């Protein structure tokens, strides 16, 4: 995919000709996952291009109709943004305040870069060699999750986790327990989610109407 050939388009959608918000110098980003947070939930996106005044992203589903979002970077930086346009699998936003583009691109900060994590909370069923039990996922990434479970689980125990799937079906994900703290557990997935699967699962859990396919 040639990102450089698809610069950010922070102008209004085609039905609003004449306006052009591209007055600030533009910078092209390498593909970078982030999340857009609104009153309707947390949704995965991929940052495509950015300037001091705005950003364009790739989407995996439509977004809620609200205008105000917060763009959360994996390293922890948060930028307030306003929706300008959305079409097919792309959207453009303006920053509420000017940003330091170099800092955003490099994700400089006191915390190291880490995987994208969503604060989703939903029930699951755990299956192991000794039987099945109910649990609650408290946050989720492509590689693992933090869960709460009243049943005692062992470190390095292998599990199969039944998570919601498309059209009401369930999908089983193989995982291993890595840490325990009271009734909280950290699990690492053997079957990791692709970014698209991760994004669509998040939408399905929070606002299934956003999934058009």
| pLDDT number for residue 17 | 38
Residues 99 and 131 in one domain: no
pLDDT value for 91: 96
Residues 188/193/195/196 CA torsion (nearest 10 deg): -160
Residue 185 predicted with pLDDT over 80: yes
The total number of structural domains in the chain stands at: 2
DSSP state letter for 149 = -
The percentage of residues in the chain with a pLDDT greater than 90, rounded to a whole number, is 58
Q: Tell me, what's the pLDDT at 6? A: 40
- CATH number where 158 lies: 2.40.10.220
Clarify whether residues 130 and 182 are in a common domain.
yes
Q: What is the mean pLDDT of the chain?
A: 83
Inside any domain, residue 144: yes
The answer to whether residues 87 and 127 belong to one domain is: no
Assigned domain for 111 exists: no
For residues 84 and 121, membership in a common domain is answered with no
Give the span between the Cα atoms of 132 and 151, in whole angstroms. Answer: 9
Q: Is the pLDDT of residue 10 over 70?
A: no
**Residues 204, 122 within the same domain:** yes
pLDDT score of 167 more than 70: no
Yes or no: say if 63 and 43 are a contact pair by the CB < 8 Å rule.
yes
Domain range holding 98? Answer: 3-106
Are 100 and 166 within one domain? no
Question: pLDDT, tens digit, for every residue of 25-49?
Answer: 666 655 789 999 999 999 999 998 8
pLDDT given for residue 30 in this prediction: 55
Residue 16 pLDDT > 80? no
pLDDT above 70 as % of the chain: 80
Is pLDDT above 80 for 165?
A: no
Rg from Cα positions in the chain: 19
| pLDDT above 50: residue 207 | yes
Residues paired with residue 34 on neighbouring β-strands, in sequence order: 45
- 121 plus 102 within the same structural domain: no
How does pLDDT run across 53-80, given as a tens digit for each residue?
A: 899 999 999 999 899 999 998 888 899 9
Do 27 and 100 lie in one domain? The reply is yes
Q: Which residue has the tokens 């005692």?
A: 152
Higher pLDDT, 19 or 139: 139
The answer to the question of residue 128 being in a domain is yes
pTM comes to 0.80
The reply to whether 112 falls in a domain is no
- For residue 83, pLDDT beyond 70: yes
Residue 167 or residue 87, greater confidence? 87
- Do 139 and 202 share a domain, yes or no? yes
């Amino acid at each position: 995919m040639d990102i450089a050939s698809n610069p950010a388009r922070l102008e209004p959608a085609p039905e609003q000709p004449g306006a052009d918000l591209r007055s600030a110098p533009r910078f092209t980003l390498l593909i970078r996952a982030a999340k857009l947070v609104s009153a309707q939930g947390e949704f995965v996106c991929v940052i495509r291009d950015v300037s001091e005044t705005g950003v364009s992203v790739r989407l995996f589903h439509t977004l809620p109709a609200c205008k105000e979002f917060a763009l959360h970077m994996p390293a922890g930086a948060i930028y307030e943004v306003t929706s300008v346009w959305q079409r097919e699998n792309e959207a453009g936003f303006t920053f509420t305040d000017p940003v330091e583009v170099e800092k955003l691109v490099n994700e400089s900060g006191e915390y190291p870069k880490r995987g994208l994590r969503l604060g989703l909370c939903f029930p699951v069923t755990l299956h192991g060699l000794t039987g099945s039990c109910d649990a609650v996922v408290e946050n989720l990434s492509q590689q693992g999750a933090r869960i709460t479970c009243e049943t005692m689980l062992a470190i390095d125990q292998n599990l199969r986790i039944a998570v919601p799937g498309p059209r009401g079906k369930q999908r089983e994900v193989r995982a291993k327990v890595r840490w325990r703290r009271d009734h909280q557990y950290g699990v690492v997935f053997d079957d990791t989610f692709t970014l698209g699967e991760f994004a669509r699962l998040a939408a399905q859990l929070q606002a299934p109407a956003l999934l058009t396919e």
